[in-house]
Amino acid sequence: MERTKKTSADRLYKAFIYVALITLAVTIIIPVAWVFMASVKENSEFYGNPWALPAGFYIQNFADAWGKARMGEYMLNSVLVTALALVILLVVALPAAYALSRFEFRGRKLLNAAFMGGLFINVNYIVVPIFLMLVDGDKFLRGLLGDGLLLNNIFVLAVVYASTALPFTVYLLSGYFSTLAHDYEEAAYIDGAGYGRTMVKIIFPMAQPSIITVILFNFLSFWNEYIIAMTLLSDPKGGKTLPVGLMQLTQAQQSAAQYGQLYAGLVLVMLPTLILYICVQKKLTQGMTLGGLKG
């Protein structure tokens, strides 16, 4: 008697859990899927039932978003900024993390503490001083060269991205480097390899899993970032990154109601991250325990 009572309560509990989990999953899947569906609807279809399936594949939305709304151009900018920032970040952060975690030298403790402290500095607090610093720099350069080149410059944006990602990246990489045994280096030194060669040929290849984690997390944050991009690429006619262009499209939509174009734009921003995520989701959710302190 006792036993059957318990299993029926168990079954009820199980059912309740499934309902709750599936509800949560549905509230995540439906809005995302809905955007994909809406991106192939014609503009007139948006005034009826929002749940209606699209009448056909209206690909023109994508053509409009890509050309008229300049999303194609913004996409190229985003790709460039993200790639550049990742390269700069890795070139700068890898050796720094290596030296900071594996060599004893004066000032090492201070530097480690400074980078740790940097984890608490949020970029959005300092975006205005960075902007003003670049304005002042541009004024100075204009006096010198006749033209400012710090604002509205994709390269500068990439440098700012890389710099602000340094604390998190150095923290994550040094954590990994410090777990390695010192034998690796000693063996390499005995074989006659110098410091630089040892670092690049022996240590970096071993750190590959951590490097991939670093690339994944920073790819997502650079690709999706828009406050700094919006501030530093402020020329209204000039280049923008994809999220900033999308935000403009959202605001324009409120007056012009170009729904189809907007959803096509949304798909263009989402798709690269979604594809990447599906390919590497195992790595990303595992790497989380390492990168658990993401701001």
Partner 1 sequence: MKKRSGRNGFIFLCVAPAVILFVVFMIIPTLNVFRMSLFQRSAYSTKEDFVGLQNFTRLMSDANFIRSMQNTILLIVVVTIVTFAFALVFAAILTREKIKGQNFLRIVFYIPNILSVVVISAIFSAIYDTNNGTLNSLLSLFSGKTVAVLWKGENMVMVSLIIAMVWQAIGYYMVMYMASMASVPQSLYESAGLDGAGRITQFFQITLPLIWTNIRTTLTFFIISTINMAFLFVKAMTSGGPNGASEVALSYMYKQAYTNSSYGYGMAIGALVFVFSFGLSALVNVVTKREPLEF
For partner 1, the binding residues in 200-239 under the rule CB under 8 A are 220, 223-227, 231
Q: What angle do CA 273, 225, 80 make, to 5 degrees?
A: 70
12 binds partner 1 (CB under 8 A): no
Q: What is the DSSP string of 107-154?
A: THHHHHHHHHHHTT--HHHHHHHHHHHHHHHHHHHHHHHSS--STT-H
Q: How far is the CB of 124 from partner 1 (least distance, A)?
A: 5
Q: What is the DSSP string of 211-259?
A: HHHHHHHHHHHHHH--HHHHHHS--TTS---HHHHHHHHHHHHHHH--H
Which residues in 173-192 contact partner 1 (CB under 8 A)? 189
Instruction: List the x/- string, 93-132, binding to partner 1 by CB under 8 A.
Output: x-xx-xxx--x-x-----x--xx--x-xxx-xxxxxxxxx
Number of residues binding to partner 1, judged by CB under 8 A: 95
Closest CB to partner 1 among residues 58, 222: 222
What's the CA gap between 286 and 295, in Å, rounded? 18
Contact in structure between 148 and 133 (CB atoms under 8 Å)? no
Half-sphere exposure of 166 (CA within 13 A, CB side): 20
One residue of 14, 109, 201, 283 binding partner 1 per CB under 8 A: 14
Query: Which tokens in the block code for residue 128?
Result: 């205005």
Find the part of the chain contacting partner 1 (CB under 8 A) among 56-64, 154-162, 177-185, 201-209.
154-162
Instruction: List the x/- string, 232-271, binding to partner 1 by CB under 8 A.
Output: -----------xx-xx--x-----------x---x--xx-
Q: How far is the CB of 21 from partner 1 (least distance, A)?
A: 6
One residue of 77, 164, 210, 218 binding partner 1 per CB under 8 A: 164
Q: How far is the CB of 63 from partner 1 (least distance, A)?
A: 20
